[in-house]
Structure 1
């Protein structure tokens, strides 16, 4: 794949950092953005071993001004950017009756509006360049409906819908959009997770550890999708099967299978 210029939110750890490593090794110009400044400054050196001009820029996706500053910096230093990965995200677990509105607002501001802000800031730059590619990281939670995760599911479903809408809206501007829907895999998502359910951290850890794919595997699939300009990436076979069952089985059958999986 021809080296390009890429910016990744939430790029200092997890899937974002795995993407950054693959791109840096492949000769891409890489910029990671993250609100964890200490972590970003700690890991940028490892990227610079492969790509000496790799950059870390502090970036909180809840602040439009942070993303605007990133776009300005990349325009000044690189003359633009080819791929923007809206990856930053958080998790919230709890029954609808126990999840506070402040938790809803918190997760919407990051998981959904963080992606919206990224798309709004970089779309004008992509149009000016005559090309660009958004990669929006959603989740199988956006296609399925795992119980006790209404806030998380809703934000990821919205990211799927936003991405599909932009695929139609921006196609004539030569701007491509890929939405990624992984199932559970080993990452640091549960470190900042908010939950009202006792013991959920252990259950999430178990589900993550059981995944046959890790962050690097998923990152490689994402880069292949960017190369081929694919609209959707569903990396996990079990997730794809669950989605097919939801679409084609009677609702009651699907619900039984879903609950058996969550036990």
Structure 2
């Protein structure tokens, strides 16, 4: 199990939600933490004692260069990079505009790419380190009316796997967190044209059974264990397992969600559809 005592860690999107909870867990484990976010400043009481804050827009090469300079001048190296910053985006394929795609790709995908590009040389030189990328269950299980979000998160999963293989000879571990819906302020970033789907997504986020702290605890345990793909909820594990090993059930769940959508009903999350169908199939066999 990895111990973060004395480690130097940078977390993007670290002023709220999952990022803030990971900042708190890293600090509690003894890490020196630089929390970054898009805000110019944050309330000092928001962050644990000893945690530093730096404004970082993950779309900006200049901001990433500034973060690297900060790390070099204060610590001289980086042990843990958590690429967590992201936005919610969704909508049916004909409704999501090109501006929605550009914004999602710039933040959700290229923010991760820029982070890895900036700090990989530092970790390779020391032949140690850990990169943690936040994707989503949507990067593995692709529900309808979420093409934009699914695509960016699937790309984060692909980048994470690729970089994991690439950096293994240098002692650098890479993992990707893939949570399902959980309660956070992520819905505030929705600003697309498909208002019906965004209202549905907001409800799913606001009424999710898990908090950001609960998801962070599961993610942190996976980080410490060095897991490459971290699924933080049981329904996510069921849905991803069904896609891999019970594909017909997976397809039924996704098509059921799509039928509800076509009838003008709020689609149940695809992962839940798959989990429900798998549970009924198991019950029928027993």
Flag whether TM exceeds 0.5 (same fold): yes
Counterpart of 2:250 in structure 1 is 254
Distance 1:83 1:220 in 2: 17
Q: State the 1:59 CA deviation.
A: 0.3
Is the aligned partner of 1:22 residue 2:25? yes
Instruction: Report which stretch shifted further, 155-164 or 67-76.
Output: 67-76
| Cα contact 1:93–1:196 (8 A) shared by 2 | no
Is the aligned partner of 1:148 residue 2:133? no
Identify which of 56, 59, 62 aligns with 1:62: 59
For this pair of structures, how many residues does the alignment match? 256
Measured against aligned partners, the alpha-carbon deviations of 1:39-76 in whole angstroms (never above 9, x if no partner) come to: x421x3342xx433x21101000011211211111111
Distance 1:83 1:68 in 2: 17
Counterpart of 1:51 in structure 2 is 49
Is the aligned partner of 1:176 residue 2:177? no
Please report the RMSD computed on the Cα atoms of aligned residues, expressed in angstroms: 1.7
Measured against aligned partners, the alpha-carbon deviations of 1:2-31 in whole angstroms (never above 9, x if no partner) come to: 412111001111100011112222322111
Instruction: Report which stretch shifted further, 99-108 or 157-166.
Output: 99-108
| Cα contact 2:10–2:36 (8 A) shared by 1 | yes
Q: State the 1:129 CA deviation.
A: 2.0
| Cα contact 1:29–1:51 (8 A) shared by 2 | no
Structure 2 unmatched ranges of 5 or more: 258-266, 269-286
Distance 2:38 2:174 in 1: 24
Is the aligned partner of 1:162 residue 2:159? yes
TM norm structure 1: 0.91
Distance 1:136 1:59 in 2: 16
TM norm structure 2: 0.84
| Cα contact 1:88–1:111 (8 A) shared by 2 | yes
Counterpart of 2:241 in structure 1 is 244
Secondary structure of 1:178's aligned partner: strand
Measured against aligned partners, the alpha-carbon deviations of 1:149-180 in whole angstroms (never above 9, x if no partner) come to: 11110000000010001110000011110100
Structure 1 unmatched ranges of 5 or more: none
Distance 1:250 1:135 in 2: 29
For the pair shown, the structure with the greater C-alpha radius of gyration is 2
| Cα contact 1:25–1:51 (8 A) shared by 2 | no
